[in-house]
């Protein structure tokens, strides 16, 4: 089949769960012999892109800053990218059997919906998140109602829809999707064998983008409370983003340099080793579409602490007391209490986490999700060929 994957970011030039999903997807499709084109924005310098193996990458928009200083997405780049996608699909769309796009940042999905009547490809859409009306208002203020309306509009075109959590599957149905979305529970690409957990070091680990929604700054006051009970406990913070300066400032204000180390981005092997030895992985995020790092931690036998909230699908990956704990909030008291519970549970919780992972590894595997995506492609390919004949 001839498949066009559409996303405005390309791993590893930008790092995130969706970026890794589309790189893994496109490489898997290419390995199986499909003709794969990846439409994105230019994010690389003159030296060239780090291209997925066997995949043709086309930049249909110039390099632009995607985020404001506060960590919010800019409006201009999605518009420019959407126009680039529209132009490409109007000219070349008939050569594709399938166009597989992320719902966000919306204008590329609308472009594909506009081009489809002319090109007659099968439209497949990943809904990594579906934001509530209240969250849109919080994110954009009065303009949030426009964002919510555009999101709802994107649910209207005929599409094969995938979600990565039950939370966002329910929300997608509520905003007007005409068919039942398919829930893809697996994004984990590593070894599915039962991990052999090692005795933990007194380290709390965070890994992710430093953006307001991740609430990474909540770790500093929480760690001060943890150390009042467990003096040897330390925190290692991996990743980067617009909130990093605020994290560094809080560490300095609380004289917490001996308690908190800010590591930035590190090679994947180094992060995997840090996860393996950590007492727990803490994800204080208030908004997650999936929460892959929870699965990656469990694959190392390391329990997780996540935070309850109406927009946090990562809680679907934690069975309280079995592979970690769900803190009621990201307040210093709630977060520190959950971390201390993990420390107190010790090796018993790590063994339970290893058992949880072994029992759920197939369900949470990337291979299982990719096979369901491929089945969706096959279901529509014969019909598309008849339309194009």
pLDDT in tens, 20-56: 899 999 999 999 899 999 999 998 887 788 999 999 9
- Taking the C-alpha atoms of residue 137 and residue 120, their distance in angstroms, rounded to an integer, is 36
- The pLDDT of residue 386 is 47
On whether both 119 and 250 belong to a single domain, the answer is no
Establish if 194 belongs to a structural domain. Answer: no
- The pLDDT of residue 4 is 98
On whether both 290 and 177 belong to a single domain, the answer is no
On whether both 222 and 269 belong to a single domain, the answer is yes
Q: What single-letter DSSP state applies at residue 71?
A: S
Q: What single-letter DSSP state applies at residue 52?
A: P
Residue in the block written with tokens 């990656």: 296
On whether both 245 and 330 belong to a single domain, the answer is yes
- Taking the C-alpha atoms of residue 289 and residue 281, their distance in angstroms, rounded to an integer, is 18
SS3 content of the chain, % helix, strand, coil (to 5): 45, 20, 35
Helix (H) or strand (E) holding 369: helix 366-388
Can you tell me the mean pLDDT for 255-262? 95
pLDDT in tens, 215-232: 999 999 999 999 999 999
Residue pair 249/270 in contact by the 8 Å Cβ criterion: no
- The pLDDT of residue 381 is 58
Q: Is the pLDDT of residue 347 over 60?
A: yes
Can you tell me the mean pLDDT for 266-291? 96
Establish if 198 belongs to a structural domain. Answer: no
Contacts of 258 (CB under 8 A, 6+ apart): 234
Q: What single-letter DSSP state applies at residue 142?
A: G
Establish if 49 belongs to a structural domain. Answer: yes
Can you tell me the mean pLDDT for 198-206? 97
- CA-CA-CA-CA torsion sign (43, 116, 131, 337): negative
Q: Identify the band that residue 87 occupies on the pLDDT scale cut at 50, 70 and 90.
A: very high
Can you tell me the mean pLDDT for 275-300? 97
Q: Is the pLDDT of residue 387 over 70?
A: no
Establish if 94 belongs to a structural domain. Answer: yes
Establish if 78 belongs to a structural domain. Answer: yes
Can you tell me the mean pLDDT for 64-90? 90
- The pLDDT of residue 380 is 62
Task: Tell me the HSE value of 374 on the side-chain side, using a 13 A CA sphere.
Answer: 18
Q: How many CB atoms lie under 10 A from the CB of residue 9?
A: 19
Q: What is the DSSP string of 288-336?
A: ES--HHHHHHHHTT--EEEE--TEEGGGGG--BTTTEEEES-SSHHHHH
Q: Is the pLDDT of residue 207 over 50?
A: yes
On whether both 118 and 171 belong to a single domain, the answer is yes
On whether both 162 and 223 belong to a single domain, the answer is no
pLDDT in tens, 353-365: 999 999 999 999 9
- The pLDDT of residue 384 is 54
Residue pair 324/299 in contact by the 8 Å Cβ criterion: no
Q: What single-letter DSSP state applies at residue 12?
A: T
Give the predicted TM-score (pTM) of the model: 0.89
First-last CA distance in the chain: 15
On whether both 174 and 242 belong to a single domain, the answer is no
On whether both 23 and 149 belong to a single domain, the answer is yes
Identify the residue with better confidence: 16 or 114: 114
The neighbouring-strand residues paired with 162 are 126, 182
- Taking the C-alpha atoms of residue 13 and residue 126, their distance in angstroms, rounded to an integer, is 21
Alpha-carbon separation of residue 250 from 120, 209, 220, 224, 234 (angstroms) = 54, 17, 7, 12, 15
Range of the domain at 318: 203-360
Identify the residue with better confidence: 377 or 70: 377
The structural domain count of the chain equals 2
Establish if 153 belongs to a structural domain. Answer: yes
Q: Is the pLDDT of residue 15 over 90?
A: no
- CA-CA-CA-CA torsion sign (339, 342, 343, 344): positive
Question: In this structure, what CATH number is given to the domain that contains residue 22?
Answer: 3.40.50.2000
On whether both 17 and 44 belong to a single domain, the answer is yes
On whether both 184 and 221 belong to a single domain, the answer is no
Q: Is the pLDDT of residue 303 over 50?
A: yes
On whether both 161 and 46 belong to a single domain, the answer is yes
Average pLDDT over the chain reads 93
On whether both 185 and 216 belong to a single domain, the answer is no
Q: Phi then psi for 370, rounded to 5 degrees?
A: -65, -35
- Taking the C-alpha atoms of residue 301 and residue 185, their distance in angstroms, rounded to an integer, is 19
Establish if 195 belongs to a structural domain. Answer: no
Establish if 243 belongs to a structural domain. Answer: yes
- CA-CA-CA-CA torsion sign (363, 290, 358, 189): positive
Q: Identify the band that residue 352 occupies on the pLDDT scale cut at 50, 70 and 90.
A: very high
pLDDT in tens, 99-117: 999 999 999 999 999 999 9
């Amino acid at each position: 089949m001839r498949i066009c994957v559409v996303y405005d970011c390309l791993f590893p030039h930008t790092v995130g769960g969706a970026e890794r999903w589309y790189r893994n997807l496109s490489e898997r499709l290419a390995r199986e012999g499909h003709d794969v084109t990846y439409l994105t924005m230019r994010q690389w310098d003159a030296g060239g892109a780090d291209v997925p193996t066997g995949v043709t990458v086309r930049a249909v928009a110039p390099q632009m800053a995607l985020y404001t200083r506060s960590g919010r997405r800019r409006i201009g780049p999605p518009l420019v990218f959407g126009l680039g996608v529209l132009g490409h699909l109007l000219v070349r769309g008939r050569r594709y059997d399938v166009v597989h796009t992320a719902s966000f940042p919306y204008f590329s999905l609308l472009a594909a919906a506009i081009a489809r009547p002319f090109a007659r490809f099968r439209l497949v859409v990943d809904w990594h998140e579906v934001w509530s009306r209240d969250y849109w208002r919080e994110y954009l203020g009065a303009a949030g109602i426009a964002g919510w309306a555009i999101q709802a509009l994107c649910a209207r075109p005929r599409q094969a829809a995938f979600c990565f959590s039950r939370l966002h599957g329910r929300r997608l149905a509520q905003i007007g999707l005409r068919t039942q979305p398919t829930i893809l529970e697996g994004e984990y690409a590593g070894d599915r064998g039962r991990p052999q957990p090692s005795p933990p070091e007194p380290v709390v680990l965070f890994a992710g983008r430093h953006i307001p929604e991740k609430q990474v700054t909540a770790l500093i006051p929480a760690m001060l409370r943890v150390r009042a009970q467990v003096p040897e406990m330390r925190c290692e913070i991996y990743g980067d983003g617009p909130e990093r300066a605020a994290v560094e400032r809080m560490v300095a204000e609380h004289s917490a340099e001996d308690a908190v180390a800010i590591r930035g981005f590190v090679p994947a092997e180094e992060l995997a080793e840090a996860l393996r030895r950590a007492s727990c992985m803490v994800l204080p995020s208030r908004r997650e579409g999936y929460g892959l790092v929870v699965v990656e931690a469990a694959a190392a036998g390391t329990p997780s602490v996540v935070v309850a909230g109406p927009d946090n699908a990562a809680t679907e990956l934690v069975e309280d007391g079995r592979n970690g704990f769900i803190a009621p909030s990201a307040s210093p008291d709630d977060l520190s209490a959950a971390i201390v519970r993990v420390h107190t549970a010790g090796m018993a919780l790590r063994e339970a986490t290893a058992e949880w992972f072994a029992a759920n590894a197939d369900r949470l595997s990337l291979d299982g999700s990719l096979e369901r995506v491929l089945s969706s492609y096959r279901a529509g390919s014969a019909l598309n060929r008849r339309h194009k004949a």
